[in-house]
Structure 1
Amino acid sequence: MTRLMTEKELEAFEATRDIEAEILQGIDDMLANNAAKRTVITETDVALARRKAQLTQEQFAKLLGVSRRTLESWEQGVRRPSGAATSLIRLFIVDPTFVKESLA
């Protein structure tokens, strides 16, 4: 079973990522029809998105259109979000304010 990161570990992990570059690289790969490498949203990404959005599990689940239990299972790595949910989670990581305002 995967160990959940501490808040400090999560912040250190987040500081090393360039989400914008990762998204642009993914778009370039898709356009080049070279999307061999698949990026899987981990429970860390789901938790990171929710933390950046400053939402409770209940609030975040409602915005994503899923139950709180489903969100919990994503955060714990038991289940993986659908493609649409994955895209929305990535947007929350990049600009949570924009997404929250757009969905309100």
Structure 2
Amino acid sequence: MSDAFNSIEQGLKEALAHARGKGPATIHEIDIPEPDVQLIRASTGLSQAEFARSIGVKKGTLLNWEYRRRRPDGPARVLLAMIAKDPEIVQRTLND
């Protein structure tokens, strides 16, 4: 089995044990810095509409992030951090 499968399987076992009251689950916390959404989008070379579509959000949501009226959180923040490190990750991953 792959490392990813083994990690997921271990996490599920821990979650079941925790649900049954048999010990604490392991909690992994990752500190993700506040993303500069406009800079991240610019690094991809995509327009606002193209970038919003590529990450599955409405253009209005992207505009709110870029103008700092709202902040991305949860999975969107993780995805933006990944794009910041590798601007072509979305296109490469989804086009394969």
TM-score scaled by structure 1?
A: 0.57
Which residue number corresponds to residue 10 of structure 2? none
Which residue number corresponds to residue 70 of structure 2? 79
Task: Give the alignment's Cα RMSD to 1 decimal.
Answer: 2.3
- What are structure 1's unaligned runs of at least 5 residues? 1-30
2:34 to 36, 41, 53: 41
- Say if 1:50 and 1:57, in contact at 8 Å, map to a contact too: yes
Spell out, residue by residue over 1:27-69, the C-alpha distance to the aligned partner (whole angstroms, 9 max, x if none).
xxxx99676xx54524xx1111101111000011011111111
Evaluate the alpha carbon distance shift between residue 90 and residue 33 of structure 1 in structure 2; reply closer, same or farther with a 3 A threshold.
closer
Larger radius of gyration: 2
User: Would you identify which runs of 4 or more consecutive aligned residues in structure 1 move more than 4 Å?
Assistant: 31-35
Which residue number corresponds to residue 45 of structure 2? 54
Separation in structure 2 between the aligned mates of residue 94 and residue 102 of structure 1, nearest angstrom = 14
- Say if 2:32 and 2:78, in contact at 8 Å, map to a contact too: no
Deviation at 1:83, TM superposition (A): 1.0
Q: Percent same amino acid among aligned pairs?
A: 34
- What are structure 2's unaligned runs of at least 5 residues? 1-25
1:102 to 72, 93, 96: 93
TM-score scaled by structure 2?
A: 0.61
Total equivalences in the alignment = 70
Separation in structure 2 between the aligned mates of residue 33 and residue 67 of structure 1, nearest angstrom = 30
Separation in structure 1 between the aligned mates of residue 41 and residue 49 of structure 2, nearest angstrom = 10
